[in-house]
Amino acid sequence: MTFDSQYAAIYDGIYSAKDYPFECAFLLKLFQQYNVVPRRLLDFGCGTGGHAVEFAAHGIEVMGVDPSPHMLRSAAWKAQERGVPFFASEVLPVGESFDAIVSLFAALNYLPNRNAVEKTLCQFRELITDAGIIVLDVYNGAAVPFLSDHAREKTVLIDGKKLVRRTQTKIDWVKQRLEVCFECIPEDGDAFRETHLLRYETAAEFTELAQRAGLEVVSILPSFRFEVPTLQDYNLLYVCRRHPSQSERSSLRKQPKNNASN
Ligand SMILES: C[S@@+](CC[C@H](N)C(=O)[O-])C[C@H]1O[C@@H](n2cnc3c(N)ncnc32)[C@H](O)[C@@H]1O
């Protein structure tokens, strides 16, 4: 199991420099460019709720989905502290509807294979409204083999105590997989490890997967910048909408029976 209790407990400390309010403000501006002012938003792979809670603070009804109950528990605490509502689930809901869906900080790269990504994108298509928007922050497959460090070390202070995280990354560029081994050494406790298995697609591959799932990629940006992406960008934002043909089909589905037979 990844994002287990020990790793979940240090997650916010490790990523304390990540600017969640800025990223959410960026996403709200991006939604606006597509005339979407979300009322209900789904955050897939929401983790400890850094984005989810920020969106909820903007008055948006947010559902966070994540398979790690430890990460979801942190998100629920954060929401309680901020005094905002937050709906959590370990699996994607069925039969609900959202006018924005996001999946941020490479959560989709944790899916085990390409079929799982396509299936998840199909589920997003079922959950998004016709005029809604989907924003997916995933690895830039063309850049990953060149930009990944093989060994890294980061020292952070968590509640005044030093924690060192050592990262070893192995890349299989043929299978487009990453094995990332984290060794965490707290100043005042036992060291522990987690190994994360991730995979990645190039922009062409991801766009094709989205199309197969009935989505249209309407824009690709570098993560959290209104610029043209380059090979220096490790993460990309794919802005997707329901494919127009899917929207027509869904409006046909919604017509009353007697109209449909006319
Ligand atoms: C790097 S964290 C990102 C968390 C959060 N989106 C953020 O920006 O801080 C990746 C998240 O993906 C979640 N994850 C792992 N496997 C997943 C899966 N199969 N489906 C959905 N989420 C998954 C993990 O539990 C973790 O919370």
Domain annotation covers residue 79:
yes
Tell me, yes or no, whether 24 and 126 share the same domain. yes
Ligand 1 pocket: which of 1, 2, 3, 11 to mutate (most atoms within 8 A of CB): 3
Does position 253 have pLDDT exceeding 70, yes or no?
Answer: no
Instruction: Give the CATH number, domain containing residue 185.
Output: 2.20.25
Sheet containing strand 61-65, strands side by side: 87-89, 61-65, 40-44, 98-103, 128-139, 235-242, 215-222
Same domain, 156 and 70: no
Domain around 226: 17-143+201-253
Residue 220: beta bridge partners? Answer: 238
The token duo for 111 is: 């899916």
β-strand 40-44 against 61-65: which pairing, if any? Answer: parallel
pLDDT score for 244: 85
* Statement to judge: residues 138 and 125 lie in one domain: yes
Residue 51 lies in a domain: yes
Kindly state whether residues 96 and 51 are assigned to the same domain: yes
Assigned domain for 1 exists: no
Number of domains, the chain: 2
Ligand 1 and 135: CB distance under 6 A: no
String of DSSP letters for 48-62: T-HHHHHHHHTT-EE
Q: Are residues 191 and 205 in the same domain?
A: no
For the chain, the helix, strand and coil percentages under 3-state DSSP, each to the nearest 5: 35, 30, 30
The answer to the question of residue 68 being in a domain is yes
Q: Looking at the structure, tell me whether residues 97 and 219 fall in a common domain.
A: yes
What's the pLDDT score for residue 81? Answer: 97
Tell me: the pLDDT tens digits for 28-48? 999 999 999 999 999 999 999
pLDDT at 261 over 50: no
Judge contact between 132 and 41, C-beta under 8 A.
no
For residue 196, pLDDT beyond 50: yes
Backbone CA torsion sign across 29, 121, 210, 113: positive
Share of the chain above pLDDT 90, in %: 91
No. of H helices and E strands in the chain?
Answer: 9, 11
For residues 139 and 149, state if they share a domain.
no
Mutate-to-test residue for ligand 1 from 2, 6, 26, 68, highest number of ligand atoms within 8 A of CB = 68
136 lines ligand 1 (CB under 6 A): no
Strands of the 151-158 sheet, one edge to the other? 151-158, 161-172, 177-186, 192-199
11 assigned to some structural domain: no
Distance from C-alpha of 90 to C-alpha of 63, rounded to nearest angstrom: 11
Residue type, 32: Q
Relative to the CA of 107, which ligand 1 atom is closest? 12
Q: State the average pLDDT for the chain.
A: 94
Cα–Cα distance, 223 to 30 (Å, whole number):
12
**To test ligand 1's pocket by mutation, which of 71, 120, 127, 136 has the most ligand atoms within 8 angstroms of CB?**
71
Assign residue 41 the CATH number of its domain.
Answer: 3.40.50.150
Closest residue to atom 13 of ligand 1, CA basis: 45
Mean pLDDT of 140-160: 94
Distance 124 CA to ligand 1 centre (A): 16
Report the alpha-carbon distance of residue 117 to residue 114 in Å, rounded. Answer: 5
Residue 111 CB less than 6 A away from ligand 1: yes
- State how far the Cα of 36 lies from the Cα of 14, in Å rounded to an integer: 33
The answer to whether residues 51 and 174 belong to one domain is no
Mean pLDDT of 173-185: 97
Collapse the DSSP code of 65 into the 3-class scheme (helix H, G, I; strand E, B; otherwise coil) and give the result: strand
Q: Is 67 in the pocket of ligand 1 (CB under 6 A)?
A: yes
Determine, yes or no, domain membership for 5. Answer: no
* pLDDT digits 0-9 by tens, 56-102: 999 999 999 999 999 999 999 999 999 999 999 999 999 999 999 99
Whole-number Å distance, alpha carbon 15 to ligand 1 midpoint, is 14
Do 51 and 152 lie in one domain? The reply is no
Ligand 1 atom nearest residue 20's Cα: 8
For residues 87 and 39, membership in a common domain is answered with yes
User: Whose Cα sits closest to atom 26 in ligand 1?
Assistant: 47
pLDDT score at 260: 39
pLDDT at position 248: 55
3-class SS at 83?
A: coil
Evaluate whether residue 12 is within a structural domain.
no
* CA dist., res. 75 & res. 257, Å (int): 43
Q: Which helix (H) or strand (E) segment is 257 a member of?
A: helix 257-260
Based on the fold, state whether residues 87 and 107 are members of the same structural domain: yes
Q: What is the mean pLDDT of residues 197-217?
A: 98
Domain assignment present for 9: no
Hey, whose CA ends up nearest to atom 9 of ligand 1?
47
Residue 250 confidence (pLDDT): 53
Residues 75, 127, single domain; the answer is: yes
